[in-house]
Amino acid sequence: MSRPRGDAAVPVTERAELLAEALEVGGDRLDPAAVARAREVLQRVGERWALKGGRTVVALAGATGSGKSSLFNALIGEPVATIGARRPTTDVPTAAVWGAEPADELLDWLGVRARHHVDGAGADATALRADLDGLVLVDLPDFDSHELSHRAEADRILERADVFVWVADPQKYADARLHEDYLAPLRDHSTVMLVVLNQCDRLPDEDAVRRVQEDLARLVREDGAGDFAVLATSARLGTGLDELTSAIGKVVSARAAAEQRLVGDLRAVARDLLHGVGDQESGRRGSDEDLVTALKQAAGIPVVLDAVRRDYQRRAVQRAGWPGTRWLSRFRPDPLARLRLGDDRPGAVGIAPSDVRTVLGRSSLPPPSPAARSAVQLATRQVGEAAAEGLPAPWAEAVAQAAAPEESHLADALDQAVMATPLRARDPRWWSVLGIVQLVFVLAAVAGLLWLATIAVMGWLQAPIETPLWGPVPVPVALLVGGLLAGALLGALVRVLARSGAGRRRRLIDGRLHAAVAEVADKHVGTPVQEVLDRHRRTRDLLLAAAR
């Protein structure tokens, strides 16, 4: 037996659960062939664990002419297996059962029909050792038989056995089929394997036996199956049978071989599946800023911001412009209303569109140009490529798909994000202040006009009244002309201030829209990509836990 490797303390059931969850999380991003093998192992683990009991299935496996049937009979102490000159002799597996614990259900699961119970009737004392109680020893057909049915039967039992005893002979111990097809794939099963050099009596002396043992151990070590002390036996002379029986008895009495075999199976398929995941995620998401910029262009944000700027200027003139021309601005179309945007109440603070319009409505923003759509496609592709760096092809493809949402869904989300964003803020105080000042100027002009009208009427009635002067200018004239002139000058100043304020308002709304579009980018691109990366990380962690 070789030393255990890995964390054998993790129970079989926990490893099976980890592997099953990894298959569920990894889904179709794992190699289908490896997934199929893993599911077969999970099924076999469940079946064997349900039959665990106290029995240990030890399979004698070897090539044609290795003498495993003779070794089988020697271990039993009775001629149970047929031995002959014709090869292959063993065409069906034969089981020898030690102990009183029922074994029929286990043997039915193994598919072994030929059964022999070892008792005191014909077996010798060695075969009746107490440490063999619970052993089920199976003599397999030759795994290199020219009969395909024999090889298939041997492989089938080997998939279900708890312990492998590989029986080699001096002539064929280096056979490629033994090492490449069986020992190399069983690198996770070194704790449930024995390697036997049988027919050692065919070698000329003990030194030759030792050299072949060492060479066989070297080949097994190079296979990656483990570092074994090869047992030398001769079924004909009885050489080494006590050592082999003791080694088997040690395994049987420990009552842990079945679990160790299943652990090895789970480790093997988990390690196989690990080839389908990367060592780590890149941690890069590409330029999110480039993506948001491209989405803003596709969503028509420049058009919205221009409308916000013109809306601010229009409303500033309406509130604080010169009354003589203020009324003209009311005939100008509302830039936001033309786009079916804006707040429900003019001047409201942070009021979003109504729920009905947000859910069912659409803005009148122009559709994105071909150049804008291409920019979005390029940006999403760059995000996907950066996130998928270093991942196996199926996972990289999943990341690319996650980073490329349906164009119509993305367009709808952007439109709804724009409509849900408040495009107005609290009206500046200077609008009200200058509006009041404009009202004062209007009242002054009206007062001057009425005063002059009164003077004219009184003069027509030949009842002139004294008109006060402001310097050389009559006060009524000063009020009329001054009010009109001051109102016009203040109106010009309002337009200047409106242009400056419109720039600030544009930057404010640009920040809101940028955040809204960034949220859309994260929801429709960033989050799906991250979900794939999280699935990949979770799959890798589960497989590593199952394989450790």
Domain of 20?
10-53+256-276
Q: What is the CATH number of the domain that holds 112?
A: 3.40.50.300
- Same domain membership, residue 386 and residue 247: no
- Is 463 inside any structural domain? yes
- Same domain membership, residue 239 and residue 143: yes
Least confident of 116-125, 314-323, 475-484, 516-525: 116-125
Closest CA to 435 of 345, 506, 332, 347: 347
Determine the Cα–Cα distance for residues 358 and 335; give it in Å rounded to an integer.
19
- Is 281 inside any structural domain? no
- Same domain membership, residue 127 and residue 31: no
- Contacts of 146-149 with C-beta under 8 Å, sequence gap 24+, read 146/88, 147/88, 147/91, 149/91
- Same domain membership, residue 322 and residue 261: no
Peptide bond into 88 cis (omega under 30): yes
- Is 4 inside any structural domain? no
Q: Which residues contact 462 (CB under 8 A, 6 or more apart)?
A: none
Last residue of one domain, picked from the residues 241, 276, 311: 276
Least confident of 111-115, 129-133, 477-481: 129-133
Q: Does the structure show a pLDDT above 80 at 540? A: yes
pLDDT of the residue at 273: 96
Of residues 119 and 113, more confidently modeled = 113
Over residues 129-150, the mean pLDDT reads 88
pLDDT of the residue at 351: 42
pLDDT tens across 326-352, in order?
777 677 788 888 888 865 434 444 444
- Same domain membership, residue 383 and residue 411: yes
Longest CA pairwise span in the chain (Å): 160
Q: Does the structure show a pLDDT above 80 at 201? A: yes
516-534 burial code (b ≥16 CB/10 A, e <16): bbbebbbebbbebbbebbe
Looking at residue 145, its amino acid is S
Q: How confident is the model at residue 356 (pLDDT cuts 50, 70, 90)?
A: very low
- Same domain membership, residue 321 and residue 201: no
Over residues 137-145, the mean pLDDT reads 89
Query: What mean pLDDT value characterizes the chain?
Result: 87
- Is 443 inside any structural domain? yes
Determine the Cα–Cα distance for residues 367 and 410; give it in Å rounded to an integer.
12
Least confident of 99-113, 294-308, 450-464, 488-502: 450-464
Q: Does the structure show a pLDDT above 80 at 502? A: yes
Least confident of 49-53, 117-121, 237-241, 242-246: 117-121
- Same domain membership, residue 310 and residue 293: yes
| CA quadruple 200, 203, 208, 209: dihedral, nearest 10 | 0
Q: How confident is the model at residue 106 (pLDDT cuts 50, 70, 90)?
A: very high
SS3 83: coil
- Same domain membership, residue 200 and residue 69: yes
CB-side exposure of 204: number of CA atoms within 13 Å?
A: 3
pLDDT of the residue at 347: 41
SS3 543: helix
Q: For the whole model, what pTM was predicted?
A: 0.78
- Is 326 inside any structural domain? yes
SS3 177: helix
Determine the Cα–Cα distance for residues 212 and 201; give it in Å rounded to an integer.
12
Find tokens 């490629």 and name the residue: 176
What is the total count of domains within the chain?
3
Last residue of one domain, picked from the residues 246, 276, 306: 276
Of residues 368 and 362, more confidently modeled = 368
pLDDT of the residue at 337: 86
- Same domain membership, residue 140 and residue 89: yes
Find tokens 């309406």 and name the residue: 318
Over residues 180-204, the mean pLDDT reads 90
Determine the Cα–Cα distance for residues 151 and 162; give it in Å rounded to an integer.
19
- Same domain membership, residue 66 and residue 38: no
Are the C-beta atoms of 141 and 262 separated by less than 8 Å?
no
Interhelix angle for 257-274 vs 241-254, to 10°?
Answer: 80
Closest CA to 197 of 167, 163, 229: 167
Are the C-beta atoms of 257 and 56 separated by less than 8 Å?
yes
- Same domain membership, residue 221 and residue 97: yes
Determine the Cα–Cα distance for residues 186 and 156; give it in Å rounded to an integer.
15
- Same domain membership, residue 20 and residue 108: no
Q: Does the structure show a pLDDT above 80 at 84? A: no
- Is 2 inside any structural domain? no
- Is 34 inside any structural domain? yes
